[in-house]
Amino acid sequence: MPPANPENISKKKGAHMRYQPPFTVSPKAISLIAEIAALTERFAIRLEQADALRLRRANRIRTIRASLAIEGNTLTENQVTDILDGKHVVAPLREIQEVKNAIATYDLFAKINPFSQKDLLKAHGTMMLALADAPGEFRKGGVGVFADGKAIHIAPPAERVPALIGNLFDWLENADDHLLIRSCVFHYEFEFIHPFPDGNGRMGRLWQSLVLSRFHPIFQHLPVETMVHDNQWAYYEAINRSTQNTDCGVFIDFMLGEIRDSLLKHKGETFVENAKNDQVCDQATDRVILLLKALKPGEKTSFEARNRLGLRHGPTFRANYLVPALAAGLAEMTQPDSPRSPTQKYRLTDKGRALLASLKTRQASAGIQEKIQIQNRPQSNPCNA
């Protein structure tokens, strides 16, 4: 967030001076707001149908899994479901704790006031319980976002955090802008300030959903985080471009597009119980399949697998290839209890090997079918040529 200056301060109804975040509302954003308003009513009708309770539960699981996966958590939807049901799950203890904390935090959703700093600290305390040194407290030192050893973003000094967050919450509650716009601006500004030592990403996404729920209650049950997870590169690119522009209009357009797309995707969905077999195909994107092939044979470090794919950018490789493969249970760590070990390697699971074998069989079958079609194709008569 840029320092407050005369252009970023507004006076409302003769009251005290208020911070005005720098942003531009584009024609695209206005169009998306209209689309979202219409789609929310359709999704609301969907949530009134007979299987709505199970659908809400399924969406909550997707939300938790997606938001944590963005931060590097490798647990699958099935494992998150098992934790929610109180079943034993074999996985890194920190990742299990992250899921338990997220479940507890989202259980508080209806009780949290999105305009309350006190509730923000309380929610962070729940989200980061046993994961951070001081859960529920603003950071006391400097933080930044790094990629490949380079600083992408250095957050404002710690001593400025309380005032910056105070100004942001004051604007959020009192601004006249559309609530959809305010939710996106808050999300961006929150990530820019980075008020906590850890957990800023998941808290920023949670808080946008809370603000959106004040626009319409359906946003308590819409898994927007899933769309963001599937478009992580574009998500971070929108944040970076907004920072470069000193205007978060790019991020507003991106997030409104994700919200619109999420509504389109889920407005007519049906709940299918025990669809674990279908998840394998859904989660095995082209990129994941390329990674599975790169891991054959034996075990590979992250660097080795990335090189085999010809990729240079580590965060892109992790977000679009490695994490989805781990989350789908198609690949696994050789040291699951030490996920950040410098000697960590990755290998195919039985599920991953079975998927590759299945794809190979399908390709062979398709080749045979194509050959049959060619052989059965009517031959042209040279005399008629």
Structure confidence by residue, pLDDT tens digits, 321-355:
888 788 777 889 998 878 778 899 999 988 888 88
Q: Are residues 324 and 240 in the same domain?
A: no
pLDDT at 48: 64
Q: Are residues 287 and 214 in the same domain?
A: no
Arithmetic mean of pLDDT, 68-78 = 91
Q: State which of 237, 266, 295 marks the end of a domain.
A: 266
pLDDT at 317: 84
Q: What residue numbers bound the domain in which 184 lies?
A: 7-266
Any domain includes 149: yes
pLDDT at 191: 95
Q: State which of 211, 239, 266 marks the end of a domain.
A: 266
d(C-alpha 248, C-alpha 292), whole Å: 37
Arithmetic mean of pLDDT, 38-47 = 79
Pair 155, 144: CB distance under 8 Å: yes
pLDDT surpasses 70 at 281: no
Contacts of residues 119-124 at CB distance under 8 Å and 24 or more positions apart, as own/partner, are 120/165, 120/169, 120/203, 120/207, 123/203, 123/206, 124/196, 124/199, 124/203
Q: State which of 4-13, 14-23, 328-337, 354-363 shows the largest mean pLDDT.
A: 328-337
Q: Tell me which residue of 167, 181, 189, 175 sits closest to 243, measured CA to CA.
A: 189
Arithmetic mean of pLDDT, 175-187 = 97
Lowest model confidence (mean pLDDT) among 46-50, 67-71, 142-146: 46-50
Q: Are residues 238 and 280 in the same domain?
A: no
Q: Are residues 67 and 213 in the same domain?
A: yes
How many helices and strands in the chain, by DSSP H and E? 17, 6
Q: Are residues 148 and 16 in the same domain?
A: yes
Q: Are residues 170 and 62 in the same domain?
A: yes
Band the pLDDT of 174: cuts 50, 70, 90: very high
pLDDT at 380: 42
pLDDT at 366: 45
pLDDT surpasses 60 at 383: no
CATH number for the domain spanning 339: value is 1.10.10.10
Q: Are residues 256 and 330 in the same domain?
A: no
User: Please, which residues bridge with residue 333 across strands?
Assistant: 346
Q: Are residues 285 and 202 in the same domain?
A: no
Pair 249, 26: CB distance under 8 Å: yes
Q: Are residues 148 and 233 in the same domain?
A: yes
Any domain includes 204: yes
Any domain includes 1: no
pLDDT at 1: 45
Q: State pLDDT tens for residues 122-140.
A: 999 999 999 999 999 999 9
Any domain includes 328: yes
Q: Are residues 23 and 154 in the same domain?
A: yes
Any domain includes 380: no
Q: List for the chain the helix, strand, coil content (%; round to 5).
A: 60, 5, 30
Q: State which of 10-24, 218-232, 253-267 shows the largest mean pLDDT.
A: 253-267
Pair 298, 219: CB distance under 8 Å: no
pLDDT at 364: 58
Q: State which of 266, 288, 310 marks the end of a domain.
A: 266
Q: How far lies 334's CA from each of 179, 342, 343, 348, 349, in Å?
A: 46, 12, 9, 10, 11
- Which tokens sit at 243? 């920072």
CATH number for the domain spanning 52: value is 1.10.3290.10
For the chain, what percent of residues have pLDDT higher than 70?
82
pLDDT at 374: 41
pLDDT surpasses 70 at 14: no
Q: Are residues 229 and 322 in the same domain?
A: no
Mean pLDDT of the chain: 83
Total count of domains within the chain:
2
Arithmetic mean of pLDDT, 244-267 = 92
Instruction: State the amino acid at position 313 in one-letter form.
Output: H
Any domain includes 358: yes
Any domain includes 271: no
d(C-alpha 119, C-alpha 167), whole Å: 16
Any domain includes 385: no
Lowest model confidence (mean pLDDT) among 210-224, 289-303, 315-329: 315-329
Band the pLDDT of 89: cuts 50, 70, 90: very high
Q: Are residues 21 and 62 in the same domain?
A: yes
